[in-house]
Amino acid sequence: MTPPSPATETTPLLYRVDEGVAVISFNRPDKLNALTPEMLNGFFDLVQRASEDVDVRVILITGEGRGFSAGLDLSVIGTGVSKSAAPPTPAAPTVKQWGDEVGPNLQRYFKHGWNALITSRKPTIAAVNGAAFGWGFILSLHCDIRFAAESALFNATFARLGVPAEKGIGWLLPRLIGIARAADLLYTARRFNGHEAERLGLVNQVLPDAELMPHALSYAKQIAANSAPRSLAAMKAQIWSAGDDCYDQAFAAADHEQDLAVLTQDFREGITSLREKRSPHFTGQ
pLDDT tens, 59-90?
Answer: 999 999 999 999 988 776 654 444 434 444 55
Q: Which residues contact 265 (CB under 8 A, 6 or more apart)?
A: 283, 285
Q: Which residue has the higher pLDDT, 116 or 272?
A: 116
pLDDT surpassing 80 at residue 91:
no
Percent of the chain with pLDDT strictly greater than 70 = 84
pLDDT recorded at residue 94: 53
The number of residues making up the chain comes to 285
pLDDT recorded at residue 115: 84
CATH fold of 13-226, please?
2-enoyl-CoA Hydratase; Chain A, domain 1 (3.90.226)
What are 171-194's pLDDT values in tens digits?
899 999 999 999 999 999 999 999
> Minimal CA–CA distance to 83: which of 40, 129, 30, 33?
40
Report residue 35's pLDDT band, with 50, 70 and 90 as the boundaries.
very high
Query: How far, CA to CA in Å, does 215 sit from each of 4, 127, 211, 221?
Result: 19, 9, 6, 10
**Gap between the Cα atoms of 154 and 137, Å rounded:** 6
What are 226-270's pLDDT values in tens digits?
999 888 988 898 888 877 777 787 777 777 777 777 777 777 777
pLDDT recorded at residue 145: 97
If you average pLDDT over every residue of the chain, what do you get?
84
pLDDT recorded at residue 225: 93
Range of weakest confidence among 77-86, 91-100, 198-207, 274-283: 77-86
Q: Model-level pTM?
A: 0.83
